[in-house]
Amino acid sequence: MERYSVITDKNPREIVLLRGTGCKWRRCSFCDYHLDFSRNEAENFAVNSEALSHVTGVCGKLEVINSGSFCDLDSETMKLIHTVCCDKGIKEIHFECHWRDRSAIKALRESFSFSGIAVKVKIGVETFDAEYREAVLIKGIDESDPAKIAADFDECCLLFGLSGQTAESMCRDIETGLENFERVCVNIMTANSTDVKPDPAVIRAFALEVRPDYENDPRVDILMENTDFGVGGEEDA
């Protein structure tokens, strides 16, 4: 599994896929990302240390992703992330956070701000259609107002390529995301071990009718495959 890469096109940044104790929600119907976890914090720290050892500071920005929220990473890993940022001259760092963990974001921002490092936090919203999001995707976001969802966050992830979605609904989600967040990351559903499968017709509609309008937008990342950022893939043997 690749755990370090450099994103060179939009918003250039280094990215590391770290491992924590795992998403505490674990109910999203479409997700098996949470399987990348361990309860052994020492082993996690070893994995994370290796990934972070590749960071050079070449872009001045670092994105940290893991199968859950940033607060699912062990304390030693969080200390190391801070140290790496200071040593490599990183001035902006991006983390992921589930809606249920949003109360921890303020302290996260403050802990890095003392070193002059700006924190950007991304939430997986998947869609702003609250009924579809909670009845079908089971995201665990008990708020339907996009502005209120965005209040504690800077960026959002959207998930497309699912049955029931249309070109119109996908465009509406992107526009809503851009109205309320600094950046939007579009993920196209990839087949995994869950019962939720990609819908080829919806993916085709996205590729033909939606993607052309946003592929050059500097605020929109589009991942047709979940490894398009250069991290992830098969677990190490």
**What confidence tens digit (pLDDT) does each residue in 157-191 have?**
999 999 999 999 999 999 999 999 999 999 999 99
Separation CA 65–CA 43 (nearest Å): 17
CATH number at residue 82: 3.20.20.70
Q: Within a domain: residue 230? A: no
Encoded amino acid at 35, one letter: L
Domains of the chain: total: 1
Look at phi and psi of residue 106 and say left if phi exceeds 0, alpha if psi is from -120 to 50, else beta. alpha
Q: Within a domain: residue 18? A: yes
Q: Within a domain: residue 58? A: yes
Per-residue pLDDT of the chain in tens (237 residues, 90 and over written 9) = 899 999 998 999 999 999 999 999 999 999 998 889 999 999 999 999 999 999 999 999 999 999 899 999 999 999 999 999 999 999 999 999 999 999 999 999 999 999 999 999 999 999 999 999 999 999 999 999 999 999 999 999 999 999 999 999 999 999 999 999 999 999 999 999 999 999 999 999 999 999 999 999 999 999 999 898 999 876 543
Which residue range forms the structural domain that includes residue 50? 4-223
Q: Within a domain: residue 48? A: yes
Separation CA 21–CA 45 (nearest Å): 11
Q: Which of 236, 234, 230 is nearest to 63 (CA)?
A: 230
Separation CA 152–CA 46 (nearest Å): 31
Q: Within a domain: residue 144? A: yes
Q: Which of 64, 66, 113, 75 is nearest to 91 (CA)?
A: 113
